[in-house]
Amino acid sequence: MGQEIKDLNSIVRYLAGRFPETTNATDNDGRTPLHYAATLKDNGHFYNLLTHLGANPKVEDNLNHPADFYLNHDKAKDLLSHRQLLQDYGAEEELADEMLNDQVPEVPDLHSARRELDDVDTLTTLERCFKIIHEPVDDVMKSVKLHSNSVPGSASSLRIHITSYLARFLKRSVFDKIKKRQTKLDHNLFDVIWPAMKKATQEKRIDEDLNVGVVIPDYDVFVVFQEFLVPLIKDMHCMDLQQDFIQHPQMQFFPRYSLVDSPEVSSAANGHVLQENYKDVHLNLDTSGKFITAVTIECSRNLDSFEYPLNLSIAQLEKVERILTSSILSINFTRAIGENELGTYYTMDEILENPSEIRTVLATSGLLIPMLDRNDPLQTAESIALNGRYWPYGRGVYVSHNQDFTAWINAQDHLRVICCTSLENPADIGSAYTKVGRAMTFLEDKIQFHHSYLLGYLVSRPSLLGTGLKMTLSLDLPHLCKERENLRHLCAVRGLNLLSDEDQQTVRMSNIRSLGQYEWQIFQDFTGAITNIVALEKELSMSNSLHIAATLLKIFRKKKSSLVEAAPTQ
């Protein structure tokens, strides 16, 4: 009996896959397997598993109770309980408690499935992944002299591939400890590290992938796989691995007060007075228009009472879409972001059409997010792993009237806001930041987003944990790019992530850290670092121009001298 219970996960998957009609079969009491799964004290693990395998949660039993009624064990214990069910089939009371009760009685566990992963194929796959991650690590570490306290983008880790980087945190002791764990939503370790296992990703260096080959499939993985993820997240955000997380600060896109010139104040105030900030940032990082070619600001959020879109049912996707669009498709939101006319909401089907005029517009502006084609057999598995089985249903994008601002809904995160600068003022980062900041401030007052005391806003991409804020600039740096490794070092010490092709002089830079700081602080640090990089390029450009001018002057003087010497004497 114990072995049968241990293999229950595999049995459920087999029956639902081969005989899908069994997921909604009813007994004499009108109850489906989902009703009985709801009684298990496993944090809803089998309930969620059956739901994702196609079970209908709306079916009511003869007492007019849907399956989710029995998730409240205290309320439903007198009607249906797993203990009584097993006893009815001849199991002794102690055995019933041992088989289907909490497996960690000493510590309250609200995040895991409370039973180990027993799928042989998955465990074998995880062992292969561990081998791939650790194969090149020794040689690579020796070749670049990797320091134990290196961070993503630092000078000591620039050449480290993603798999080698993960090896620092997924040691054998850690791997053996967490490899059999699974969250209550049925996610295991492979669901976290699968992006790093793709052949193309294995060749990527960590400064070419902000998320270092890791994705967060549900909120509970932060707890279930904490031995692996906690040090990884700290390192990604340039935090001390030996120190504990501190409380992530509350959202603050703008300074609480701003200094304004006023001739009416006394000289003791140095000609400035404090007034409430009006949420408007004016900052152009390159008034010459020679160096910065584009800016995009992105911010992600997830609703508090819903899991990531990957895990949502059709009804839940629709509800998230309704909640967000009801606030975004309003004149108040339009005015909040500084526009006068409502934008347009497009479904994901309209975006994926071929051809799609709006997709072309978004791609040209840098507002189009990466998307997988589920109809492409080579991308189907990855699309399901990233987006869930119902993609692209319940998804869409709001495009503002000015077409410089988008709000993507249910695309990996519930909300992904992106704003770009105009072609006329590509370096006007202040306007893009202001628009995103106003949008998030407005929505924060209307919607409850999922927020953690230590990790801030929980999003599916670990590099955006905390604020959910990512700022990316495209720069033309012909002189700095001649010494690419020096440029990488310049970026690393300034908290910038360099994303570029080795043979191009146009590069992209983004902020490394988004955790443990508030938005205004991150913005100031980022713009200060970019200003410094642009100044260095200007100096090199000027030095190079002076050098060319001096060389031409020498040549001119030499030629003039030669002409004078060659001229006939009178």
The answer to whether residue 407 scores a pLDDT higher than 60 is: yes
End-to-end CA distance of the chain: give it in Å, rounded. 121
Q: How many domains does the chain have?
A: 3
- β-strand partners of 413: 411
Mapping DSSP to helix (H, G, I), strand (E, B) and coil, where does residue 285 land? coil
* Cβ-contact 164, 141 below 8 angstroms: yes
- Tell me: pLDDT of 48 over 50: yes
- The pLDDT of 266-278, averaged and rounded, is 48
Amino acid 169 reads F
Is residue 78 domain-shared with residue 177, that is, in the same domain? no
- Domain membership of residue 169 (yes or no) is yes
- CATH classification of the domain holding 32: 1.25.40.20
Confidence tier at 558 by pLDDT (50, 70, 90): low
- Higher-confidence position of 230 and 19: 230
Please give the Cα distance from 233 to 205 (Å, whole number): 17
Verify that 157 and 96 share a domain, yes or no. Answer: no
Structure tokens at 90: 């001849």
Say how many C-beta atoms besides its own lie within 10 A of residue 449's C-beta: 19
Q: What is the pLDDT, as a whole number, of residue 7?
A: 59
H or E element at residue 406? strand 405-411
Domain that holds residue 79: 2-100
The tokens describing 518, both together, are 């508030």
Higher model confidence: residue 175 or residue 506? 175
Tokens encoding 119: 């799928």
Residue 171 pLDDT exceeds 80: yes
CA dist., res. 190 & res. 202, Å (int): 15
The pLDDT tens digits for 350-380 are 999 988 999 999 999 999 998 887 677 778 8
Residue carrying structure tokens 């409240």 = 72
**8 in the same domain as 134:** no
Residue 355, preceding peptide bond in cis (omega within 30° of 0): yes
Give residue 307's pLDDT: 94
Please check whether residue 303 is in contact with residue 414, taking contact to mean a CB–CB distance below 8 angstroms. yes
Tokens for 441? 């401030």
In a domain, 177, yes or no: yes
Per mean pLDDT, which range of 140-154, 289-303, 482-496 is the poorest?
A: 140-154
CB-based contacts of 294: which residues, under 8 Å, 6+ apart?
366, 420, 421, 426, 473, 474
Residue carrying structure tokens 């298990």 = 40
- The tokens for 471 are 């700022």
Torsion of CA 355, 361, 363, 365, to 10 degrees: 170
Q: Are 34 and 80 in contact (CB under 8 A)?
A: no
- Give the separation between CA 347 and CA 142, rounded to whole angstroms: 50
pLDDT of 216 reads 96
> Of 210, 236, 262, which residue is a domain's last?
236
8 A C-beta contact, residue 133 and residue 166: yes
**Spatial distance between the Cα atoms of 480 and 483, rounded to a whole number of angstroms:** 6
Q: Do 445 and 300 sit in the same domain of this protein? A: yes
**How does residue 534 score in pLDDT terms, banded at 50, 70 and 90?**
very high
Instruction: Read off the pLDDT of residues 173-206 as tens digits, 9 standing for 90 and up.
Output: 999 999 999 998 889 999 999 999 987 777 777 7
Q: Do 142 and 60 sit in the same domain of this protein? A: no
pLDDT higher than 70, residue 152: no
Spatial CA neighbour of 417 closest among 252, 251, 280, 297: 297
Instruction: Please check the confidence at residue 102 and state whether its pLDDT lies above 50.
Output: no
Q: Is residue 269 part of a domain?
A: no
Same-domain status, 320 and 371: yes
Q: Positive or negative CA dihedral for 260, 261, 263, 265?
A: positive
Residue 429 burial by CB count (10 A; 0-12/13-18/19+): exposed, middle or buried?
Answer: buried
pLDDT of residue 380: 84
Both 83 and 124 in one domain: the answer is: no
CA–CA gap between residue 455 and residue 12 (Å, rounded): 35
Give me the sign of the Cα torsion angle 214, 218, 219, 223: negative
Whether the pLDDT of residue 1 is over 90: the answer is no
Predicted confidence at residue 256, as pLDDT, reads 77
What integer pLDDT is reported at residue 466 of this predicted model? Answer: 97
Specify if 367 maps to a domain.
Answer: yes
Do 337 and 448 lie in a common domain?
yes
Q: Average per-residue pLDDT in the chain?
A: 82
Residues 172 and 314 in one domain: no
Q: Both tokens of residue 208?
A: 């070419």
pTM of the predicted structure, to 2 decimals: 0.80
- pLDDT at position 34: 85
- Residue 285's CB is within 10 A of a number of other CB atoms, namely 22
Task: Of 37-41, 93-97, 383-387, 422-426, give the lowest mean pLDDT range.
Answer: 93-97
The stretch 37-58 carries a mean pLDDT of 79
Contact 233, 465 (CB under 8 A): yes
For the chain, percent of residues with pLDDT exceeding 90: 48
**Cα 423 from Cα 353, distance rounded (Å):** 26
Q: List the CATH number of the domain containing 356.
A: 3.30.590.10
Task: Evaluate whether residue 297 is within a structural domain.
Answer: yes
- Cα 406–Cα 408–Cα 409 angle in degrees, nearest 5: 145
Same domain membership, residue 158 and residue 32: no
Confidence (pLDDT) at 333: 97
Question: Is 80 exceeded by the pLDDT of residue 140?
Answer: no
Is 221 inside any structural domain? yes
Is the model's pLDDT at 65 over the cut of 80? yes
Q: At how many degrees (to 10) do helices 519-566 and 429-446 cross? A: 170
CA dist 478 and 471 (Å) reads 22
pLDDT in tens, 440-477: 999 999 999 999 999 999 999 999 999 999 999 999 99
Average pLDDT score over residue span 20-46: 83
Distance (Å, rounded) from C-alpha 70 to C-alpha 56? Answer: 14
DSSP element (H, E) containing 128: helix 120-134
pLDDT at 266 over 60: no
Domain assignment of residue 267, yes or no: no
DSSP-assigned letter for residue 397: E
Choose between 37 and 52: higher pLDDT: 37
Question: Residues with Cβ < 8 Å from 496, sequence gap 6 or more?
Answer: 153, 509, 510, 511, 512, 526, 529, 530, 533
Separation between Cα atoms, residue 496 and residue 513, nearest integer Å: 8
Average pLDDT, integer, range 153-166: 65
Is residue 333 domain-shared with residue 462, that is, in the same domain?
yes
Burial class (CB in 10 A: 0-12, 13-18, 19+), 135: middle
In a domain, 557, yes or no: no
Specify the CATH number for the domain of residue 198. Answer: 1.10.135.10
Quick one: which of 378, 443, 373, 453 has its CA closest to 405? 443
| Rounded Cα gap, residues 257 and 130, in angstroms | 51
Q: How far is CA 281 from CA 258, 443, 520, in A?
A: 10, 19, 10
Name, in order, each residue with C-beta under 8 angstroms of 174's C-beta and a sequence gap of 6 or more.
227, 228
**The two structure tokens encoding residue 530:** 């970019």
Note the pLDDT of residue 98: 59
Q: Is pLDDT at 23 greater than 90 in this prediction? A: no
More confident residue, 339 or 19: 339
Same-domain check for residues 427 and 486:
yes
